Chain A
Amino acid sequence: MEPKLSSDLLRGHTDTIVLGSLLGQDRYGFEIYNRILERTGERYELKETTLYSSYKRLERDGYIISYWGDETQGARRRYYRITDKGREQYLQNKIDLEFTQKIINELLKEDER
C-alpha cells in the first residue's frame, strides 16, 4: 500500500510550521511557502490563503511581527519575524505534538494487537 500525505492532518499544524520556518531567519510569504513545498517534496497541497490566515492570526496573537522589506524594484515584500512569545509557543507546540504522536502510536498499537 502506498502511503499518502494527509493534508488535513498537516493543516492543523500550519501555525507551528510557520513559526518553525522563522526560527533561523526572517522570511517573506513566498519563502515560507517554497520552504514547505521543498520539505514535503511538493506532496502537500497547501493553499496559500491558509498561510495568510495563519500569518494574520499569529501576528494578532503576538507570536510574529511583520515589516516591509526595502526592495527598490518591483512590489515590496512583507517579512515576518518570530517574537520571544512565538518561540515559546513553537517549543510548546512541538512538545505537545511529540507527546500526542507518542499517544497516537500507543493507541494504534493497541488496535493492531
Chain B
Amino acid sequence: MNTRQQIDSLFSGYEKTAGLSDFMEELESNLNDRIASLKQKGMGEQEAFDKALAELGDISSLADDLSLKRKQDVFSEMYMKTRNYISPVRMALYVICGALIGFGLITGVAAWLFSSVLDAFLGTALIFCGSGVLVVVFLGLTQETSANEAMSWKRALWYVLSVGALIFGVFVFVNAYFTKGAGLPVAIASLIPFFLPGMSLGVFLILTEKDRSKPWVAELRREAVKSAMHPFGSPGREERFGLICGALWIAGIAGFVLLTITVGFKFSWLALVAALVVQLLVQSAFMKADGKRD
C-alpha cells in the first residue's frame, strides 16, 4: 500500500470536502518526506512506512479539530433524523390526542343517536375533538423536522388561539343554524364574534410567518430558483428562444384567423394546437442542447 492509498483509507469514512482534500495532499507530501528521511537513515521500506504512520497518531481527534464530519453524520443530519426529532413525550401526546379526537367523535355520534339531539354531538365533539386538535396544532408547529426549524412556543400559542376561535365559531354557527331554529341570518351573524376574529388572527399570523427552513433546504431552494431562472444557460439563448416563440405564435394566431375566415372554426383551431406542439418541441430542443453543452 502506498501513502496515498493509506491516507485515503484513513479518511474513507469522512465527507470529502475541499478542506479535507487539501489536508490529505499536505499529509501525503509530509509523510512521503518522512519516509524518505527514515530510509536515508537505513530503515527498510516497510519499516519506514510503518514508523511514519505510527508517528502520525490518532486521526479521529484531528478530524474533530478540522471539524470534519463523518459521511453518515452528514447524511443523517440531512435526511434521516425526522424520527429522532419527535421526543417520547411528544409521541405520547400525539397518541393521546388522536385517541381524544376519536373518543370525541365516537361518544358524540353515540350521544346523538341515543338522544337524537344534534346538540349532544356538537357539545361532546367540541370539547374532546376541539381540545385534541388544538394540542396537535401546538405540537405540530413547535415540532422540529428534517426540513424546518421549530416555531417558538409563544407564536404557536397564537396559532392555537386562532384555530380555537375558528373551531368554536364553526360550532356556534352550526348550533345556531340547526338546533335553535334561529335560521341562517342569526347563524351568519354568529360568525362575527368568534369565527371572524379567529380567521383574521390566522391570516395575520400566516402573512407574518418567517421562513423556518433549515440551511440545506434553503440551499436547495436557491439552486432550484437559479436553474429555473436560467433554463437555457446563456442570456443569448434565452433571447433567441423568446424570438422564436414570438414568431411562432404570431404565425399560429394569423393562421387561426385566416383559417377561421376561409374554412371556418371547425378546423381553424388546429392552427393553435399546432403552434402549441411546435412551441413544446422548440422548448425541448433548447433544453436538450443545453444539457449537451454542460
Question: Interface on A for B, CB 8 Å cutoff?
Answer: 28-30, 33-34, 46-50, 52-53, 56-57, 71, 74-78
Contact = CB atoms under 8 A, between A and B. Distances in A.
A50 B26 contact: no
A56 B66 CA distance: 7
Interface of B: 22-23, 25-30, 32-34, 37, 55-59, 61-62, 65-66
Nearest to B3: A75
Nearest to A77: B29
A48 B65 CA distance: 13
11 contacts: A30-B34, A33-B30, A46-B55, A48-B30, A48-B55, A48-B56, A49-B59, A49-B61, A53-B62, A57-B65, A77-B30
A49 B58 contact: yes
Contacts of A77: 26, 29-30
Contacts of B29: 28-30, 71, 74-78
A50 B25 contact: no
A78 B30 CA distance: 9
Nearest to A69: B29
- Which residue, of B25, B65, B66, has the highest number of chain A Cβ atoms within 10 A? B65
List of 9 A-B pairs having minimum Cβ-Cβ separation, nearest first: A47-B57, A75-B29, A30-B33, A29-B30, A49-B57, A49-B62, A78-B26, A53-B65, A30-B30
Contacts of A46: 55
Nearest to B54: A47
Nearest to B37: A34
Given A34-B37, A47-B57, A48-B56, A75 B62 contact: no
A77 to B, nearest CB: 5
Contacts of A71: 29
Given A47-B55, A47-B57, A49-B57, A56 B65 contact: yes
